[in-house]
Structure 1
Amino acid sequence: MSPPQVVVAGAGIGGLSAALALARCGYAVTVLERALVLEEAGAGVQLAANATRCLAALGVLERAREVAVNPRAFRVMDGRRGVALAEAEMADAVAARFGGPFLVIHRADLQQVLLEAVRREPLIRLLLGRTIEGFEEEPGVVAVDASGSGRLETHSGLALIGADGVRSVVRRQLQPRALPVYQQRAAWRATVPVEALPPDLADPVTRLWLGPGAHLVSYPVRAGREVNLVAVTPDKRGVHGWGLDADPAELLRHYAGWSAQARALLAAPAHWLRWALYDLEPMESWGTGRVTLLGDAAHAMLPFLAQGAAQAIEDSAVLAAELAGRADDIPAALRRYEARRMDRTARVQTAARGMARIYHLAGPARLARDLVMRARSGEAMLERYRWIYEWQP
């Protein structure tokens, strides 16, 4: 008997994770991806224990460890004065506390790890250069139209999983009013070789630098050979895209008056890319019939809790658990998947928006925040999000 067929739209981290998870429970998966070549999008990704447990279940965690970094510490810095506000041990300590490692990895490396596993899996067919045009449910099946190479193809399956990002074509057909919300901020991204930085900024530590109206994140990637930088500033330009060239002088103007350490990090890269920050309002429904959403297509969120990729990976684990052995009742299985995921992802979305306000406080509110951080331990900051990190697939 032929294995049941499923179509996944999108070959990002969520789409590849979903394909692997579904193949592991016996589904044949066709992945349709618009890009002709799967290339780097963005820069670093932080993977907390909730994500690494899922990667372990997919059988790819050890391969990911080879190209990732297990940070020794997490440190919150006063961006202007250059002093630490709070610090928490990471590495073995945090793995013991939350039941899994916290890793930092280059997005391209994580995608490559997943892609290697996908290409080894005989039940997965990855088709590049296919743009989803729409879908139609028919009795017992969903037909997905995709254009590529000047022709229109139709791919059919028992289900369609829309993992096609914040500007999802699948979501647009399901929920035409659920539009991305521009949050009036931009993330500036770069990586820099560790040898280009002072030794005290090249160690295996994740740093969060806070200042009025802006913040900066730095952590090692590429097995420690590079440091990933993400600077978040106010921005009125809502042009969407990962790869928009950015003016380093403009970026540095946002950080005038910041500490010498922070400005040394910002001055190190020769090239920056700017990314407009969008998220989604939590939706009341993700799907209908044989169609559902996953990852950013369902719950795009601001990056301030470092949970965007992690929540997509979690989605994949739950989706596969609900579909396993239930090919005879796909719609009901998809609704159970949605019911298990919607409240949690909405809570993470809302919490990420809240952190956007906290990170960028100015004046007396900023001083009060810093006093609270100094009074509490870094471990207490991590404990605040135990509800995220302790989640089990």
Structure 2
Amino acid sequence: MAQQNIVVAGAGIGGLTAALALAKAGFRVTVLERAGAIEEVGAGVQLAANATRCLQALDVYERVRANAVVPAGFAVMDGRRGTVITSAPMGAAAETRFGAPFLVIHRADLQSALATAAREIPAIDIRLGRTVDGFTALSSGIAVQAERHDAASGEDSESIHALALVGADGLRSAVRGVLHPAVRPSFRHRAAWRATIPIAALPARLADPVTRLWLGPGAHLVSYPVKAGTAINLVAVTPDERQLHGWGLAAAPEELLAHYAGWSDDARALLHAPDSWLRWALFDLDPLPAWGAGPVTLLGDAAHAMPPFLAQGAAQAIEDAVVLADCLKGATDIPAALRRYEALRQPRTARVQTAARGMDRLYHLSGPARLARDLVMRTRSGDAMLERYRWIYGWRA
């Protein structure tokens, strides 16, 4: 029945978390995913306390934790000198400080944990190989046109009647395209290069459970453990003018290494370790003045895609999911509940988007500005850096 069902477009981190939260709130959920299988490639995800607190509330934290790592510390490194600019303990100290743990995890492991949890709930129906082809508001909710792409049976379509439609279908959201056809992702003139390497391939000094941010002129590098501590995830961000979008774009290691000429031996040891890299162009969205209309709303990257420089993209989608479910639970006026969700989420996500864009400039300074930044960071403790982001990490639904 339409009044019991909510359609979620997208089975990424945001869409699956939304399905879990909505089912917990008493709804049936139909998840439409354009891919033929739920899978993600070579990327890590940092889950700060604001995200893990939500996962705990949804009873999936322990499942996620099984393949994750709790970092023992974080360090900001001088990429050229290889020295520590500032650092702070994490682990139990960070959990005590912010009331929930910090995790780092491979994206595929996170998505697998969420998908497995969702498939165990009878109220959640995940339909693969389906895209949202359109939708029509009805007096009783919404009719969602879902088109199926199947190599064996060809193409067909169906109309799903539901209470609401949640567009959690990513940066190039089909749902947002109908709601806001003039909105286009903004190219950041940077590429992110990702690789995962076995921890045994690195010297012990680089294989400890520490999240490291290596800063240098025009580029930066992030390293942290994943796969329950058996691998290291690398993210290198460089200038780039190629706008071709996608996860599976092979990248030439020698091209990447040219951006890091003159960097420290440790940084270059990390960069030399992978046999191959994947590269994709970085895009985000300007904060939207409105997300949804009627019985339709947006969630995650579809609503507020942001640069990865605060490691909050997945966390903000997870936050969206729990707030959305809370607003809809027991609601009799669904469009009004969706507008309440948007009113609660828009100011926060816009602030995080803006802060992430600001870190782009800060991370990539050169010359005297870079030296001044490093001096300020050395003067302040790593604990002070964490406290600077209490407004992010300390958030509670």
TM bucket by the smaller chain?
over 0.9
1:276-308 CA distance string (max 9 Å, x none):
100000011000000000000000000000000
User: In structure 2, how many angstroms separate the alpha carbons of the residues matched to 1:304 and 1:207?
Assistant: 13
**Stretches of structure 1 lacking an aligned partner (at least 5 in a row):** none
2:234 matches 1:224: no
**Residues 233-382 of structure 1: pairs in structure 2 closer than 5 A:** 233-326=238-331, 328-382=332-386
Number of aligned residues: 392
Q: Identify the residue that residue 125 of structure 2 maps to in structure 1.
A: 125
Deviation at 1:3, TM superposition (A): 6.8
1:207-222 matched pairs, under 5 angstroms: 207-222=212-227
- Map of 1:21 onto structure 2: 21
Distance 1:237 1:42 in 2: 20
Deviations, residues 163-221 of structure 1 (Å, cap 9, x unaligned): 00000000011011221001000000000000001111111000000000000000000
Moved more, 332-341 or 175-184: 175-184
Change (3 A) 1:391 1:175: same
Alignment-mate amino acid for residue 333 of structure 1? A
Deviation of the 1:41 alpha carbon: 3.5
Alignment match, 2:211: 206
Identity percentage of aligned residues? 68
Distance 1:43 1:164 in 2: 18
- 1:139 aligned partner: 139
2: distance between equivalents of 1:56 and 1:39?
A: 23
Stretches (4+) displaced over 2 A: none
Shift of 1:140: 1.6
Moved more, 223-232 or 148-157: 148-157
Residue pair 2:68, 2:105 contacting (<8 A) in 1 also: yes
Letter in 1 for 2:79: G
- Worse overlay, 5-14 or 37-46: 37-46
Could you tell me how far apart the structure 2 residues matched to 1:5 and 1:144 are?
12
Q: Distance in 1 between matches of 2:32 and 2:188?
A: 29
SS of the counterpart of 1:243? coil
1:108 aligned counterpart, secondary structure: helix
Decide whether the 8 Å contact of 2:2 with 2:140 is kept in 1: no
The alignment partner of 1:155 has SS state of: strand
Work out whether 1:189 is the aligned partner of 2:194.
Answer: yes
Alignment of 1:92-103 (within 5 A): 92-103=92-103
Correspondent of 1:157 among 162, 170, 175: 162
Separation of aligned partners in 1, 2:128 and 2:2? 24
Please tell me whether the aligned partners of residues 214 and 234 of structure 1 are also in contact (alpha carbons under 8 angstroms): yes
- Given that 2:75 and 2:211 are in contact with CA atoms closer than 8 Å, whether structure 1 keeps it comes out as yes
Q: Partner amino acid for 2:183?
A: A
CA contact (8 A) 2:3 2:140 kept: no
- Asked whether 1:170 is paired with 2:206, we answer no
Superposition RMSD in Å = 1.0
Cα pair 1:3 1:26 within 8 Å, conserved: no
Matches within 5 A, 1:103-118: 103-118=103-118
- Please tell me whether the aligned partners of residues 105 and 222 of structure 1 are also in contact (alpha carbons under 8 angstroms): yes
SS in 1 for 2:66: helix
- Structure 1: how far apart are the matches of 2:146 and 2:104? 35
- How far did residue 63 of structure 1 move? 1.2
Q: SS where residue 112 of structure 1 aligns?
A: helix
- The runs of 5 or more residues in structure 2 that have no matched partner are none
Partners of 2:244 and 2:134 lie apart in 1 by 25
Following TM superposition, by how much is the alpha carbon of 1:35 offset from its aligned partner in structure 2, in angstroms?
0.2
Between the aligned partners of 2:2 and 2:182, the Cα distance in structure 1 is: 38
Alpha carbons 2:2, 2:161 under 8 Å: kept? no
Secondary structure at 2:101 match in 1: coil
Q: CA-to-partner distance for each residue in 1:125-151, whole Å, 9 max, x for gaps? A: 000000111111122221111211311
Whole-angstrom distance in 2 between the partners of 1:65 and 1:169: 32
Work out whether 1:50 is the aligned partner of 2:54: no
1:289 aligned counterpart, secondary structure: coil
Q: Specify the alignment match of 1:30 in structure 2.
A: 30
Q: Which residue number in structure 1 is paired with residue 388 of structure 2?
A: 384
State the Cα distance separating 1:106 from its structure 2 match.
Answer: 0.4
Match of residue 75 from structure 2:
75
Alpha-carbon distance between aligned partners in 2 of 1:124 and 1:48, rounded to the nearest angstrom: 27
What is the identity, as a one-letter code, of the residue corresponding to 1:345?
T
Write the deviation string for residues 39-92 of structure 1: whole angstroms up to 9, x where unpaired: 124410000000000000110101111110000000000000000000011000
Instruction: Tell me which residue corresponds to 1:10.
Output: 10
1:63: which partner in 2? 63
Q: Secondary structure at the match of 1:231?
A: strand
Contact 1:3–1:28 (8 Å) recurs in 2: no
Paired AA for residue 100 in structure 1: A
CA distance in structure 1 between the aligned counterparts of 2:30 and 2:368, rounded to whole angstroms: 54
CA distance in 2 between counterparts of 1:151 and 1:163 reads 22
2:185 is matched with which residue? 180
